[in-house]
A = this chain, B = another copy of it.
Amino acid sequence: MGASKLDLHAEDIKTMATIAKVFAHPARIAILQYISKQESCICNDIVDEIGLSQPTISQHLQVINKAGLLKGNYKGKSICYCLNVERFQEFQAQFNHFFKTTTAKCC
């Protein structure tokens, strides 16, 4: 099928998976790293940097944005995309909690 039986899983478990999905594509990791490095980061720069087409980058940006990790302000004709640091730290906290609470008992 391809559709995950979402109702099966607890809310926090679904949240973790949703967060992880954002990071589950190299282009999105690359975009996040690039955005965080640059002082000013307009979409066209990202396109040049990553090597994917403008629509594809835009699509990945949308995924990142939907996760709440993006802030954008117009800088002239371009948009300066920036990392939503607060949200990013929330994600990190979720991961840390997941790692902390997942420790093997057996073997």
Contacts and interface: CB of A to CB of B under 8 A. Distances in A.
Nearest to A80: B106
Contacts of A27: 4, 8-9
Interface residues of A, number: 54
A25 B50 contact: no
Interface string A1-31: 0001110111001101100111111111110
B82 A106 contact: yes
A107 B80 contact: yes
B40 A106 contact: yes
A107 B26 contact: no
Interface string A25-59: 11111101101111111000000001110000000
